[in-house]
Structure 1
């Protein structure tokens, strides 16, 4: 059984799954699509005649920042070293991959399509920068289509010099 509350100390309400926008699939809740009002605390209670376990999770749904394809408070962070190689993964997409076909993942830098240089390679759910340069600093967004929906993940890449701890910032 799944329950939802708006915040700590609020009363937990049982979730009535309508099967369309919100559905229960095995031990997961699926939102197709999520809405801002889906934010809150969720609890899953598993019980039988001799056992009862409650697991709680917090869900925060946010809108993209104005003019961007991501929310700047909801992104991953990676560091790379100049002239070294760096992999950026399209993270937490396992539930959206189909076992029978390769995912079609598009990559963007600063929410724009880009002509990638030959030393940047794409393999499955990873972007590989073979030789990191200072102009690689920025936000990388992967995009995957799942049914009629688009799943995006953004990673901010910072770059350090290879003999110092100096950070370069991109503006």
Structure 2
């Protein structure tokens, strides 16, 4: 039989002591169960170096474990660091409970911040049975600090409390905002038939990063690229702007050229992120012909007509005078 196929005997010993803790050993507070050494409960005198030895007739291996038992007042020195982002849901996880809960799905933890029990009201905090975490529905900077989770553990005739302390560090991030369409702020845009037209959709995202908001155009509730496959009407390049410390997104809709069909098409700008969406309708209408130049020519035409009438009148008088003179002669 190979050396590794032979059964291994596991024992624990404390460094500097001849005491050996064999499998199945139980004396007052100390228990060896499977591969783990349990202290029920732990005492300051348990601090020290423990040697775990696995051996058989031809094999031996040692593992050294340093154990430090601290007073409750100094438990923050051995706390678990965890992080959460502000303005979003977060979790505080109670670690290293697997050996105590095993297949128990009905266990429930008690949670404290500092030494004060948390009010689990499902608005700010929530706890689910059979889970090892505390839910924070919306993390704020004030949620940073030390949290303690407590599990009531039963073993044989005894009942013990298992506690873990977590130091939660909250990381600030800018608050996200729902998008607001600034313009088009008028539903109708005038354009000449056959002209080139650009309509801009400008969206305010506030303090939110440009990354979180999508902006696009629709025509008759259809994507532009799908309806205008030949590219006569296209979406231009997305522009990300910062004005007065606030973020904006601009997406142009380009007509090259404007056709009569565009005057009967419903165009819509859509802005969307995880907090909401907004839509804004826009239509293209044919621009009336400019008659201002006709109006400008009216005074000129009147002057020309008056001047022409005066000239004709003078010519007529001259011809009449010549005829009278000739008759008299």
TM-score range, shorter chain: 0.7 to 0.9
Q: Could you tell me which residue of structure 2 aligns to residue 120 of structure 1?
A: 125
The structure, 1 or 2, with the larger RCO (C-alpha pairs under 8 Å, 6+ apart) is 1
Tell me by how many angstroms 1:100 deviates.
Answer: 3.9
Larger helix fraction of residues? 2
Contact 2:53 2:63 in 1 (8 A): yes
Gaps of 5+ in 2: 1-10, 175-329
* 1:157 match: secondary structure: strand
Q: Could you tell me which residue of structure 1 aligns to residue 44 of structure 2?
A: 36
Tell me by how many angstroms 1:98 deviates.
Answer: 4.4
Tell me by how many angstroms 1:162 deviates.
Answer: 0.8
1:52-67 correspondence runs (5 A): 52-65=60-73
Tell me by how many angstroms 1:19 deviates.
Answer: 3.2
Residues 18 and 114 from structure 1, CA distance in 2 versus in 1: closer, same or farther, beyond 3 angstroms?
Answer: closer
Distance in 2 of aligned mates of 1:129 and 1:28: 33
Q: Could you tell me which residue of structure 2 aligns to residue 130 of structure 1?
A: 137
Q: What TM-score do you get using the length of structure 2 for normalisation?
A: 0.44
Tell me by how many angstroms 1:12 deviates.
Answer: 4.8
Q: Does 1:156 align with 2:161?
A: no
The number of residue pairs the alignment matches comes to: 154
How large is the RMSD of aligned CA atoms in angstroms? Answer: 1.8
Larger radius of gyration: 2
1:6-155 correspondence runs (5 A): 11-16=16-21, 17-65=25-73, 71-116=75-120, 118-123=123-128, 124-147=131-154, 148-155=159-166
Residues 131 and 100 from structure 1, CA distance in 2 versus in 1: closer, same or farther, beyond 3 angstroms?
Answer: closer
Distance in 1 of aligned mates of 2:102 and 2:171: 37
Tell me by how many angstroms 1:135 deviates.
Answer: 1.5
Tell me by how many angstroms 1:120 deviates.
Answer: 2.2
Q: What TM-score do you get using the length of structure 1 for normalisation?
A: 0.82
Residues 100 and 84 from structure 1, CA distance in 2 versus in 1: closer, same or farther, beyond 3 angstroms?
Answer: closer
Tell me by how many angstroms 1:97 deviates.
Answer: 0.6
* 2:117 match: secondary structure: coil
Q: 1:4 aligns with which of 10, 14, 33?
A: 14
Tell me by how many angstroms 1:18 deviates.
Answer: 4.1
Q: Could you tell me which residue of structure 2 aligns to residue 166 of structure 1?
A: none
